[in-house]
Amino acid sequence: MAYKEIFARIAGNTFVHERVTTGRIFRPLVERFVAGETIEHGLSAVESLNNKGMAASLDFLGEEVHDEDAAASVREEYLFLLDVINKRGLAANISLKSTQLGLGFNPDLCRENIATIVERARDYGNFVRIDMEGSGYTSDILSLFYDLHNDYDNLGVVMQAYLYRTGDDTRELVEQQARIRLCKGAYSEPSIVAFPKKKKVDENYRHLMEYLLEYANYPAIATHDEALISHGQEFAAEHGITPDKFEFQMLYGVRRDIQEQIVENGYNLRIYVPYGKEWYPYLMRRIGERPANAFFILKNIMRESLHRE
Ligand SMILES: Cc1cc2nc3c(=O)[nH]c(=O)nc-3n(C[C@H](O)[C@H](O)[C@H](O)COP(=O)(O)OP(=O)(O)OC[C@H]3O[C@@H](n4cnc5c(N)ncnc54)[C@H](O)[C@@H]3O)c2cc1C
């Protein structure tokens, strides 16, 4: 069983959930990856990033919402966020999850919620990115995207290099002039839909990145992989693609050293800034990407449990 899959099972355990969400020892780890629990925390992180020459994409944390009221309150949060971004003149757009706005129980409602948000963003000349979620939602998210893409050009979507289907999806999206963020993919997926070996994911990423740089409408290269970042920069330079034609994207709290270098070297960089109380699944995906992070969690859960007994 792959490490990511083992960790996804550990993260789903209620005992681990309870320990991580209540244990003070885990706060530094949460604070590293999440800007804070309130909108002001998110906005103040964006201000600091903007001061360093980095743009941001704000994500109000949450996913798999199961009722209309909850989805409506997420929609209102994003509308307010767009108002404040505009009022304060921040260099920031927003990233949202379709399952946070109703996709799991009512796709039409989800479409309406996202359309309302995208329309508000359009009024401000701003942009909305629909994050990509687990493979069970890929087709639904893409249909939703295509449907809205007909009416709005300030909306983008995400492709995950670990899925076998991504080459075909990417070509179709590029034909439709869609704005694409390319990432490796963060969910634990079975080998029937995704490359099980990291080497293959990296190869696919490299191939897709070259394709996007050459043909896509302002692609976002979202990775912290130094080899891929350097390759992207070299490929762009060799093909006469100037740095204003694409952007790099990275996650809040991950490889801050490279973040600064990218800006110093004259490339556009956007940092994905998550905030909100529903940080557990997001944090667990970050932990699941790196065994060293998981080791820290497990070691401290054991230590805490021993102290309590
Ligand atoms: C802006 C942005 C948006 C994203 N949106 C989505 C999305 O919509 N859907 C989706 O499925 N995934 C999304 N992801 C997550 C992505 O799929 C990967 O899971 C994540 O970026 C790690 O892959 P990597 O490209 O950095 O490569 P990796 O090979 O995993 O990592 C390269 C190097 O980066 C560092 N690193 C990476 N992750 C961590 C970490 N958690 N902690 C510490 N160091 C780390 C390490 O130094 C590592 O060696 C997004 C990522 C970014 C940057």
Q: Name the residue with tokens 């070299």.
A: 234
Is residue 299 exposed (0-12), middle (13-18) or buried (19+ Cβ within 10 Å)?
A: exposed
Is residue 16 exposed (0-12), middle (13-18) or buried (19+ Cβ within 10 Å)?
A: middle
To the nearest 5 percent, what fractions of the chain are helix, strand and coil? 55, 15, 30
Q: Would you say the CB of residue 142 lies under 6 angstroms from ligand 1?
A: no
Which residues are identified as catalytic?
131, 181
**Residues whose CB is less than 8 angstroms from the CB of residue 58 and which lie 6 or more positions away in sequence, other chains included:** 42, 43, 46, 81, 85, 92, 93, 94, 95, 273, 274, 275
Number of the ligand 1 atom closest to the C-alpha atom of 187: 11
Quick one: fold of 40-278? TIM Barrel (3.20.20)
| pLDDT band, very low/low/confident/very high, at 295 (cuts 50, 70, 90) | confident
Cα(272)–Cα(97) distance, rounded to whole angstroms? Answer: 13
DSSP-assigned beta bridge partners for residue 158: 181
* ipTM for the whole complex: 0.99
Contact 89, 125 (CB under 8 A): no
Q: Would you say the CB of residue 223 lies under 6 angstroms from ligand 1?
A: yes
- Residues 143-154 have pLDDT tens digits of 999 999 999 999
- According to the 3-state scheme, what is the secondary structure of 164-209? CCHHHHHHHHHHCCCEEEEECCCCCCCCCCECCCHHHHHHHHHHHH
Number of the ligand 1 atom closest to the C-alpha atom of 57: 1
Q: Would you say the CB of residue 290 lies under 6 angstroms from ligand 1?
A: yes
Closest CA to 258 of 54, 34, 36, 41: 54
Q: What is the dihedral of CA 255, 252, 225, 142, to 10 degrees?
A: 180
- Residues 27-66 have pLDDT tens digits of 888 899 999 999 999 999 999 999 999 999 999 999 999 9
- Residues 93-127 have pLDDT tens digits of 999 999 999 999 999 999 999 999 999 999 999 99
Cα(228)–Cα(160) distance, rounded to whole angstroms? Answer: 15
Cα(225)–Cα(196) distance, rounded to whole angstroms? Answer: 18
Q: Whose CA is nearest to atom 34 of ligand 1?
A: 224
